[in-house]
Structure 1
Amino acid sequence: MTRHVGFLFLGPAAHIAHAATVAFELDAMPGYRVTALVSSAAHARTIEDLAALYGSGCRLERLQASPLHRLLRLFKRRAHPRVRYVLGHNRHRLRGFDALVSPDAYANLHHLRGGPRMVLAGHGAGLRAHGRYPGMDMFDLFLLPGRTKLERLEQMGYVDPARCRIIGYPKFDLAAGRRQPGQLFGNDNPVVLYNPHFNLRESSWSHWGRRVLDWFLAHPQYNLIFAPHVLLPTHARLRLARRHRHAANIRLDLGSPALIDMTYTGLADIYLGDVSSQVYEFVGHPPAALHLPRPAPAVLARQPQPGHVAHGNRAR
């Protein structure tokens, strides 16, 4: 008997790599037929690229929102349709799977209640605290990166440990087989990766972002990769100065696949960031992690208050 499993890649593109290798490995197992479900052409290309890199023949299917929502989307600058519209419009198709796996706890999964088994694969390192996780009651199985996340969710009353499995960080499976990119800079100077977060309440960008770029402009003995979270350009409407765009020792990337596929965390000598799980990708990146120590100082999101001590590595 073949079990049909769908992987829901309907949210931010940055979350795809956190569960893609799980899909590829499951598809290679006897008795399973896996379909990667996406809602945009860009997401489809990301899956295709990762599958080619991994050597997977995983099937790909694009889900559409309703005709009305597709029409309304023509007037909006969104990378993909809103998840709730896609889930609602395709609920009959999705009920045809034996199980659905998602890297996100979508709040609108109630459309599928009583249907396929639901698995939450999660995304990120899982160490950043959140107030609530909407939709957690929909899941039958939780795939977690480590014991810390398990203990936190258990304390919050969201999960039963019997329904949890610790699987580590699936994104590292892609790093091990990556083609090594060419040298970004024409020198052997140290490379610093600056990765500000998209949440402006937690991001260093609004306070110090341009000052960081100016510092590297004045210190050409260091190379800088400015690779913010993929959502920061949308939230902050980044306008970078000409002097930054044309500096020989600064590489600016506001939208390429390298932002999410660990290209830069593997190339950098020093990580400079806020609360992103990319700090763990930098510290533990194979095979770069073999060359320890790898410095990862923090940039504080807000100016410290008088009497407060600023601590490093705020990634949670």
Structure 2
Amino acid sequence: MKIGFLFNHDCIHQISHTAPIICELVALGQDVTVITSSAEQEAHVRQTITSCSDRVRFVHIGIGRLATAINVVARSVLPFRRIANLHQNVGLFAGLDALVVPETTSALLKSHFGLDIKLIYFPHGAGDRSIGFRDVTRFFDLVLLPGEKTRDRMLAKRLIRPEGHAIVGYPKFDTVDFSARRRFFDNDRPTVLYNPHFDPILSSWWDMGLDVLEWFAGQDDYNLIFAPHVMLFQRKMHVSVEHRRIRLRRMIPDRLRNLPHIRIDTGSQYSVDMSYTRAADIYLGDASSQIYEWIYQPRPCILLNSHGADWQGNPNYSHWNMGQVIDRVSDLPHALAVAQEQQQFYAQRQKDAFQATFHTVPSQSAASRAAQEIVHFLSQDKAHAA
């Protein structure tokens, strides 16, 4: 079977969620084509699949001059380049039996561009935001899931079919050496990871972010790694269609960029390969799914409620049950001071949340389970067609 893996995004953060599956499919004798829309994406995929990259076909896709010009204006409002890449390369996708993707924009191939292909979706991340549980999921023929939490919520909303999904675990974990912990500071102070999302409503960056950075700049008890979602600094304007809000991103003053106890990283590989989540001692965030990668090793979490959310009992904020929730930056010093003490109340919640979110089998990788499910699904589908 001819199976494609599409990486069609502005950044590389989605790659490690599906790329580990590639070599497992090659080992099962499948014909795999990797389709990327940037040189950076291709390089990252090759780095992830070094053991089998010579047995995989790589194809680069792009858009024409007119679409490129339109994208300069449109990219702040909608993912125009990604949509144009899909539309202009329908013929390429039509030569495949199946296409594996880590995002939902690719559903346009079926919903609007008339392509008859088996679409296989693996969500990038395992968070709780409502955007991860939208009706568009129904366009996918097979949905691969990290664990029971996501499965149960999707089934409850009838987004997936009993025969059209499988729980396989989290392939990104297959790529991480959890025994290694990188040092980013030359002192022994506790290190805080501040990881705000980019959403104009849910992210704490817009109304609290600079105050958070200023507070850390003026103290000498903690180190700070400021590593927001990689999309935050990709655009100056952010639009939330879901929450109907447009906001201009605030800049980081130069005086905060060269302090010895603050590391500012707006999008390097360290932001997406779990280097920071393994290096820090306390997590400070809001809506990012990265908190679920953080609790691989239970540690203190502090969540910033910058938008006055009535969050208790709301499944979109389930991760806020895993740590202290504060409404003002002025509450941050106290929350940090008691973080280790408070962790005794949250450790079990974090362990339970991790178990519900990520299915693990000690003797088998998530990528191998995903590959087996893909081959089984496609084989069954061909048998039914015959």
TM-score by length of 1: 0.84
For residues 238 and 43 of structure 1, the distance between their equivalents in structure 2, rounded to whole angstroms, comes to 27
Aligned residue type for 1:97: L
For residues 88 and 77 of structure 1, the distance between their equivalents in structure 2, rounded to whole angstroms, comes to 16
Q: Which residue of 1 aligns with 2:35?
A: 37
Which residue, out of 298, 301, 304, partners 1:299? Answer: 304
Q: Which residue of 2 aligns with 1:191?
A: 191
How big is each residue's C-alpha offset from its partner over 1:93-113, in whole Å with a ceiling of 9 and x where there is no partner?
111111111111224122664
Q: Which residue of 1 aligns with 2:47?
A: 49
For residues 126 and 132 of structure 1, the distance between their equivalents in structure 2, rounded to whole angstroms, comes to 10
Q: Which residue of 1 aligns with 2:99?
A: 100
- The more displaced of 32-41 and 63-72 is 63-72
Change (3 A) 1:299 1:24: farther
Which residue, out of 254, 269, 284, partners 1:242? Answer: 254
For residues 285 and 127 of structure 2, the distance between their equivalents in structure 1, rounded to whole angstroms, comes to 17
Aligned residue type for 2:205: W
Q: Which residue of 1 aligns with 2:283?
A: 271
Aligned residue type for 2:118: R
Q: More helix by proportion, 1 or 2? A: 2
2:87 maps to 1:88: yes
Q: Which residue of 2 aligns with 1:173?
A: 174
Question: Is the contact made by 1:298 and 1:312 (CA closer than 8 Å) also made in structure 2?
Answer: no
Which residue, out of 246, 251, 256, partners 2:268? Answer: 256
Of all paired residues, the percent bearing the same amino acid is: 37
2:195 maps to 1:206: no
Q: 1:303: how far off? A: 4.3
Question: Is the contact made by 1:65 and 1:81 (CA closer than 8 Å) also made in structure 2?
Answer: no
Change (3 A) 1:7 1:131: closer
Change (3 A) 1:59 1:101: same
Question: Is the contact made by 1:21 and 1:171 (CA closer than 8 Å) also made in structure 2?
Answer: yes
Change (3 A) 1:206 1:112: closer
For residues 101 and 130 of structure 1, the distance between their equivalents in structure 2, rounded to whole angstroms, comes to 20
Change (3 A) 1:181 1:50: farther
Change (3 A) 1:173 1:132: closer
Q: Which residue of 2 aligns with 1:15?
A: 14
Q: 1:114: how far off? A: 5.5
Q: Which residue of 1 aligns with 2:146?
A: 145
Alignment coverage as a number of residue pairs: 298
Structure of higher RCO (CA pairs closer than 8 Å, 6+ residues apart):
2
Aligned residue type for 1:251: R
For residues 183 and 256 of structure 2, the distance between their equivalents in structure 1, rounded to whole angstroms, comes to 19
2:114 maps to 1:116: no
- The more displaced of 118-127 and 57-66 is 57-66
Question: Is the contact made by 1:66 and 1:86 (CA closer than 8 Å) also made in structure 2?
Answer: no
**Which segments of 5 or more consecutive residues in structure 2 lack a partner in the other structure?**
239-247, 311-316, 326-352, 358-386
For residues 258 and 77 of structure 1, the distance between their equivalents in structure 2, rounded to whole angstroms, comes to 25
> What RMSD in Å do the two structures reach over aligned CA positions?
2.8
Q: 1:174: how far off? A: 1.1
Question: Is the contact made by 1:150 and 1:161 (CA closer than 8 Å) also made in structure 2?
Answer: no
For residues 52 and 128 of structure 2, the distance between their equivalents in structure 1, rounded to whole angstroms, comes to 30
Aligned residue type for 1:249: H
Aligned residue type for 1:109: L
For residues 28 and 133 of structure 2, the distance between their equivalents in structure 1, rounded to whole angstroms, comes to 37
TM-score by length of 2: 0.70
Q: 1:166: how far off? A: 0.4
Aligned residue type for 1:300: N
SS in 2 for 1:194: strand
Aligned residue type for 1:202: L
SS in 1 for 2:58: strand
Question: Is the contact made by 1:40 and 1:81 (CA closer than 8 Å) also made in structure 2?
Answer: no
Aligned residue type for 1:105: T
**Which segments of 5 or more consecutive residues in structure 1 lack a partner in the other structure?**
none
Change (3 A) 1:51 1:155: same
For residues 172 and 201 of structure 2, the distance between their equivalents in structure 1, rounded to whole angstroms, comes to 27
How big is each residue's C-alpha offset from its partner over 1:178-208, in whole Å with a ceiling of 9 and x where there is no partner?
9x57521111211110000100200111222
Question: Is the contact made by 1:6 and 1:99 (CA closer than 8 Å) also made in structure 2?
Answer: yes
Change (3 A) 1:109 1:20: same
- The more displaced of 86-95 and 120-129 is 120-129
